[in-house]
A and B are shown apart, each in its own frame.
Chain A
């Protein structure tokens, strides 16, 4: 599975523009041949080759997502290991009514990664550090804050709505979802007071929901 498939800047993706529905966006952003739901069903039946197919299909992307959050390759592999075992054991509990099979798989891995970093001492260190750092934070100029994520490369519905947020609030959303940063870490990263960051994230979520519907 090559990174180019998703990230080569020159790759034309006209079919991804203007999509109105996130589930459609999810569908076309995957290779169409892979049937995630059928693969989970096969896992639930105890078909080991199905889990292997899933690993070949999504292992590198899951590892990328997890590694970005936990920032340690050995821990990331541990978590992807745990995620695949959980997928193997819980495949039978996947409910298509509640969302896409691919989404379920990513949720399993992401939440294991988030649990690992939230339970980690790193969180405490940042809490301690925050009092000193943010009191002297720059509190102006966020309007001019630029994007730190190259997020327009593969637009879907959520991206269209993110476009309507100020860049600094958009960055808060990305730092949380993609980097797995806590409120404190985001505050430190962008040099804003903790309370401001919390309010931005809450309001961004409400704005996104009003936009996405």
Chain B
């Protein structure tokens, strides 16, 4: 392979390793990495060649607390791992970054909650459940799910326009803590609100997970999420 033939690939990989790609470009490239060995190879090329430049930076002594924090998190992570081994198909739902992100999403939830309460006329019966669906990488809120206590209906409200590749579709999933696997709630049109009847499902539970994944235009072929998670969040009961 000549340098000319794959120059754009190496430029892109080089910019990724240098760090000049935008957040969106970085996410897009990281999604491609597991699927494209040539891109992976180009990234590895630059990682190895540029590593030496880290020596331009003065080392900095960490605070004493840092190792203690790492040690504590390592223990928590090991306990999670033990739990993971006992469960049938749990890796995604037990990942530490995911759960850590829920903490931040909680804050996002309270923010959106405040805005919704402010915007909605008081006569409107307030929903009992609220889920903020945020991007896993940067926790940007993208959708809100709300549901009233009595009705068997949930409402999915977009907070912006979600970019979806032309040959893909967004599919909504939910999973309560004690369910074996996520259940599909169907395909979702980016930027459009949607009401969904939860006919065959039990009522919403606290902590119930919702996620939007990128799937084939006709939905996941396996009946389980197969594509990357675009937005994810957990149900919180409103007081």
Using CB atoms and an 8 Å cutoff, list the residues of chain B in contact with chain A.
3, 7, 10-11, 14-15, 17-23, 26, 40, 44-63, 65-67, 69-71, 73-74, 77-78, 81, 96-97, 137-138
Contacts and interface: CB of A to CB of B under 8 A. Distances in A.
Interface majority SS (helix, strand, loop, mixed), chain A: helix
Contacts of B49: 22, 157-158, 208, 212
B15 A29 contact: no
B51 A205 contact: no
A81 B137 CA distance: 17
A77 B69 CA distance: 10
B23 A60 contact: no
9 contacts: A26-B52, A63-B66, A153-B56, A181-B20, A183-B20, A201-B15, A206-B11, A209-B3, A209-B14
B59 A64 contact: yes
B81 to A, nearest CB: 8
Contacts, number: 172
Interface in A89-144: 89, 98-100, 102-104, 106-107, 110, 114-115, 118-119, 123
A81 B11 contact: no
Closest 7 pairs (CB-CB, A-B): A60-B59, A205-B14, A119-B138, A176-B18, A118-B23, A64-B60, A114-B19
Interface string A162-184: 00000000000110111011110
A51 B22 CA distance: 32
Contact of A29 (B20, B47, B55, B77): B55
A173 B18 contact: yes
B74 A106 contact: no
Interface of A: 1, 3, 6-7, 22-23, 25-26, 29, 46, 48, 51-52, 55, 59-61, 63-65, 67-69, 73, 76-77, 80-82, 84-85, 88-89, 98-100, 102-104, 106-107, 110, 114-115, 118-119, 123, 149-151, 153-154, 156-159, 173-174, 176-178, 180-183, 186, 201-202, 205-206, 208-210, 212
Which of A114, A151, A174 has its CB near the most chain B CB atoms (within 10 A)? Answer: A114
A88 B76 CA distance: 12
A77 B62 contact: yes
Given A63-B66, A103-B47, A202-B11, 11 more contacts: A23-B48, A26-B48, A63-B59, A64-B57, A80-B66, A85-B73, A99-B44, A104-B47, A115-B138, A158-B49, A210-B3
Contacts of B78: 46
B57 A68 contact: yes
B26 A114 contact: yes
Given A98-B44, A177-B50, A123 B22 contact: yes
Contact of B53 (A51, A119, A177): A177
Contacts of A178: 53-54, 56-57
A7 B53 contact: no
